Amino acid sequence: MGYLHEGHLSLVREARGRADVVVVSLFVNKIQFNDARDFDSYPRDLGRDARMLESVGADVLFAPEHEDMYPRGFRTSVEVDGITERLCGAFRPGHFRGVTTVVAKLFHATRPHVAIFGEKDYQQLVTIRTMARDLNMGIEVIGLPTVREPDGLAMSSRNVRLTPEQRELARAIPDTLFEAAKRVRGGEKDAAGLAGWVRERLARTAQFRVEYVEIVDAEDLAPLTELVRPARLAIALHLGHTRLIDNVALDPA
C-alpha cells in the first residue's frame, strides 16, 4: 500500500530473479480499513516509492485511483471463510473481505504467474494463497521472511508514526517473540502456556495495549493447544495511536 521500505524492496528483488517482467501494484485500499482515521493518516509518497522501485528493477508500477478499482455501482466482493475470522479478522470487521477483493482485482488486472508477499502479514499471506488455490487462479503465491530493523522490529510503513520513545519501547516485541521461539526449540509443547507467557511479558510495558496473542497452525491458522507441528505465534498490539503486528515461526524440537 505504499510508503515503501526494505521489506517491500526485498519482494521486488525476489520477483526480479523469478520473472521476465516485474509489476508492482501500489494502492491504498480504502475498503480494507475499518477505521477512517487510519486510512486518512496512512503514509503516502508516490514519487518516493516510484524512485525506490526503479532502483531495484521493477518494470511496471501499477498505481490506480480509487475510482479505477471501484467504479460507481461496484458491488462484488471476495471472501475466504475459516481463516479470516480469527487473529486480525476478529478485531477488524470487513478487513479481509477488502483485502481479498482488491487482490483478486489486482490479479485479474495484471495477470501474474507468480505473486510475492511478505510473511509479516502472515494471515494475509495464508488468506491470499487459499483464495488463489480455491478459485483456480493459476498463480504461485510465495511468502518471504519478514525483514527486520537491526534491533529486530519488523519493518512496517506504520513505524514512521512512532515517537522516538515508542520506537525504543517497541524493541520488546521482537525480543519477546524470539524468546518464545527459542523456548519451543528447547522443547516447550504447551501452546496455551506459552501464549500466556508472551502476553504477560508484553504487558510489562505499560504503553502496550495488547490486542491478541495466539499460537496457530502454520498452514490453516487453526488454534493449537499442543506444539507438535509447525506453528506461528502471532501478536497484535497498539502503541500510542499505532497498531503493530508481528509473528514468528515455531518449530517444535
- Do 201 and 123 lie in one domain? The reply is no
Q: What CA–CA distances, in Å, run from 13 to 7, 17, 26, 172? A: 10, 7, 16, 30
Q: What's the confidence (pLDDT) of residue 13?
A: 97
Domain boundary among 144, 179, 200: 144
Domain boundary among 93, 123, 144: 144
Beta strand residue intervals within the chain, DSSP E = 23-25, 60-62, 114-118, 140-144, 208-217, 231-239, 242-250
Q: What's the confidence (pLDDT) of residue 132?
A: 98
- Do 99 and 170 lie in one domain? The reply is no
* CATH number of domain containing 210: 3.30.1300.10
Residue 231, domain extent = 157-250
Grid cell at residue 224: 493449537
Q: What's the confidence (pLDDT) of residue 35?
A: 87
- Do 123 and 17 lie in one domain? The reply is yes
The model's pLDDT over 26-83, given as tens digits with 9 standing for 90+, comes to 999 999 998 888 899 898 999 999 999 999 999 999 999 999 999 999 999 999 999 9
Catalytic residues: 8
Using N-to-C axis directions, what is the helix angle for 172-185 and 191-203, rounded to 10°?
160
- Do 35 and 88 lie in one domain? The reply is yes
Is 162 inside any structural domain?
yes
Q: How far is it, in rounded angstroms, from Cα 32 to Cα 103?
A: 11
Q: How far is CA 173 from the centre of its chain?
A: 16
Is 114 inside any structural domain?
yes
The model's pLDDT over 105-124, given as tens digits with 9 standing for 90+, comes to 999 999 999 999 999 999 99
Q: What's the confidence (pLDDT) of residue 253?
A: 78
Structural domain tally of the chain? 2
- Do 55 and 115 lie in one domain? The reply is yes
Is 1 inside any structural domain?
no
- Place 188 in a pLDDT band, splitting at 50, 70 and 90: very high
Q: How far is it, in rounded angstroms, from Cα 170 to Cα 174?
A: 8
DSSP string, 14-80: HHHHH-SS-EEE----GGG-S-HHHHHHS---HHHHHHHHHHTT-SEEE---HHHHS-TT-------
Grid cell at residue 66: 480509487
Grid cell at residue 145: 521472511
Is 197 inside any structural domain?
yes
- Do 122 and 165 lie in one domain? The reply is no
The model's pLDDT over 120-175, given as tens digits with 9 standing for 90+, comes to 999 999 999 999 999 999 999 999 999 999 999 999 999 999 999 999 999 999 99
Q: What's the confidence (pLDDT) of residue 192?
A: 97
- Do 131 and 186 lie in one domain? The reply is no
Burial, 136: exposed, middle or buried (Cβ in 10 Å; 0-12, 13-18, 19+)? exposed
pTM of the full structure: 0.95
* CATH number of domain containing 96: 3.40.50.620
- Place 221 in a pLDDT band, splitting at 50, 70 and 90: very high
Domain boundary among 144, 177, 195: 144
- Do 186 and 214 lie in one domain? The reply is yes
Which residue carries 530493523 as its cell?
Answer: 149
- Do 92 and 205 lie in one domain? The reply is no
- Do 77 and 131 lie in one domain? The reply is yes
